[in-house]
């Protein structure tokens, strides 16, 4: 069937859309009458699951109160959301720049870092994704960048995480960033951009000492550290922000998106430390968006954060880590010849599978027949799970039964 709009990241004839009609909790329904179990939070954003009544009411109530705004406006919910975001950031964070999602959070973090530092170069990793817009995609290092190059000038990629390749697991982590900073001339580098925990490129968890080493290299040269928490933030890894797993590593900027509204509104944010924010007291912040802090998105953000707090869902995600890990180890025990490694942090996991391309396609098709939504990433050889933070333990068990059957089918 052909539709009068584009599907993203695919040749149109290969698109495999789901005709989604609603849902409740960890489940969503499609037009063909199927009920899907969401073990992926759609694309990592639906952390409160489907059909959340509090979210719907908050957005409706906001629409009744105030549905239109403009960038220079002040209204109570905008203030409250900024205060709440800063309350969950490390001490010293003092300002929020609102965006419409994760990609433009990256774009505006680039601008803020360049304007504040007066420098232009940016360092990021090959194993990364920071968004689809031109600046953000230039920072990313995966297959999504080369087709749209040339990108932003001044971006330098490093091959950190190579040491995590199979067979080198015991190797001492050593970032290329300190030496690349020296080679590039550190006084030309505005910022290093990192996902605290690598998301779409394979759920890679930094080894002890890694983020500390990068932070120290940035400090040594007055380079800003931007932590991309678009995917890892708001409880996905069992903390408000992923970098909190490495106490002492405090970024200068934090980019947010996705679960900031649990997917119920189009919102992102850049959280800015006072040491950077103060520059803009006198310097013009050359950045802005018509829909900056749109009331409906802000209402969704405020309610989502309030629900995470009141229902202690960040703690819940941390508590369910053991259960998620056990399920994945069950998969490894059942398929020892293909499951290479499980990485788990909170309710986020990456499982490396030794599958041929054809087997990945069979696995994907079998998962669809099982009506279970997960993230299958053949480009890095990884199956990723990121269930909603509200998922029940029995639902996790059911998800694993479906994944087991699908992998069995793919290997048959």
Residues binding ligand PLP (CB under 6 A):
101-103, 106, 129-131, 195, 199-200, 228, 230-231, 257-258
Closer by beta carbon to ligand PLP, 241 or else 400:
241
Q: Please report how many Cα atoms fall inside a 13 Å half-sphere around the Cα of residue 79, on the Cβ side.
A: 4
Rank residues 239 and 258 by Cβ distance to ligand PLP and give the closer one: 258
Closest CA to 158 of 204, 201, 127, 198: 127
Residue facing ligand PLP at closest CB distance = 102
User: What angle in degrees, to the nearest 10, is found between the helix axes of 210-221 and 177-184?
Assistant: 20
DSSP state of 15: -
Residues facing 194 on adjacent strands:
227
Q: Which helix (H) or strand (E) covers residue 35, if one does?
A: strand 35-38
In a 13 Å sphere around the CA of 2, the CA atoms on its Cβ side amount to: 2
Please, which residue, 102 or 186, has the CB nearer to ligand PLP? 102
Task: Order across the sheet with 375-377: list the strands.
Answer: 339-345, 348-353, 382-385, 375-377
> Toward ligand PLP, which CB reaches closer, 199 or 295?
199
Indicate the pairing of strand 253-256 with strand 224-228. parallel
Least Å distance, CB 168 to ligand PLP, is 24
| Closest distance of CB 45 from ligand PLP, Å | 8
Between 29 and 229, CB nearer to ligand PLP: 229
Question: In the chain, what is the straight-line distance between the N-terminal and C-terminal CA atoms, in Å?
Answer: 30
Q: How far is the CB of 254 from ligand PLP (least distance, A)?
A: 12
Give dist(CA 404, CA 128) in Å, integer.
Answer: 29
Nearer to ligand PLP, 106 or 117 (CB): 106
Nearer to ligand PLP by Cβ, of 58 and 137: the residue is 137
CB of 224 to ligand PLP, least distance (A): 17
- Tokens representing 135 are 């600046």
CB of 1 to ligand PLP, least distance (A): 25
What minimum distance in Å lies between the beta carbon of 140 and ligand PLP? 8
Listed residue (230, 3, 220) closest to 99, CA to CA: 230
How crowded is residue 367: how many other Cβ atoms within 10 Å of its Cβ?
A: 22
């Amino acid at each position: 069937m052909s539709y009068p709009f584009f599907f993203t990241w695919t040749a149109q004839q290969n698109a495999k859309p789901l005709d989604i009609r609603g849902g409740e909790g960890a489940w969503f329904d499609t037009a063909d009458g199927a009920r899907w179990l969401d073990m992926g939070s759609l694309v990592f954003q639906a952390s409160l699951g489907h059909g959340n009544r509090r979210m719907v009411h908050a957005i409706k109530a906001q629409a009744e109160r105030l549905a239109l705004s403009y960038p220079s406006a002040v209204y109570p919910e905008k203030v409250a959301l900024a205060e709440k975001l800063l309350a969950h950031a490390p001490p010293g964070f003092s300002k929020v720049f609102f965006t419409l999602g994760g990609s433009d959070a990256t774009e505006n973090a680039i601008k803020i870092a360049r304007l504040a530092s007066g420098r232009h170069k940016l360092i990021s990793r090959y194993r990364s994704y920071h968004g689809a817009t031109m600046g953000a995609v230039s920072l990313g290092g995966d297959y999504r960048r080369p087709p749209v190059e040339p990108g932003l000038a001044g971006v330098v990629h490093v091959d950190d995480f190579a040491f995590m390749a199979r067979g080198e697991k015991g190797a001492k982590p050593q970032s290329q960033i300190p030496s690349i900073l020296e080679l590039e001339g550190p006084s030309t580098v505005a910022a290093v951009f990192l996902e605290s925990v690598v998301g779409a490129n394979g759920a890679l968890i930094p080894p002890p000492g890694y983020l500390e080493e990068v932070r120290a290299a940035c400090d040594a040269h007055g380079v800003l550290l931007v932590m991309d928490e678009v995917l890892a933030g708001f409880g996905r890894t069992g903390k408000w922000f992923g970098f909190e797993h490495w106490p002492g590593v405090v970024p200068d900027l934090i980019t947010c998106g996705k679960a900031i509204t649990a997917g119920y509104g189009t919102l992102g944010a850049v959280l800015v430390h006072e040491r950077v924010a103060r520059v803009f007291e006198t310097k013009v912040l050359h950045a802005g968006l018509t829909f900056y802090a749109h009331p409906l998105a802000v209402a969704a953000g405020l309610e989502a954060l309030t629900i995470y707090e009141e229902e202690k869902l960040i703690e819940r995600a941390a508590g369910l880590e053991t259960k998620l890990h056990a399920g994945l180890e069950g998969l490894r025990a059942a398929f020892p010849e293909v499951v290479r490694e499980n990485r788990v942090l909170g309710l986020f996991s990456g499982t490396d599978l030794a599958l041929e391309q054809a087997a990945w396609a069979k696995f994907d098709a079998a998962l669809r027949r099982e009506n279970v939504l997960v993230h299958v990433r053949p480009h890095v050889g990884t199956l990723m799970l990121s269930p909603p933070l509200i998922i029940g333990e029995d639902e996790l068990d059911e998800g694993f039964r479906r994944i087991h059957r699908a992998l069995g089918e793919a290997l048959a």
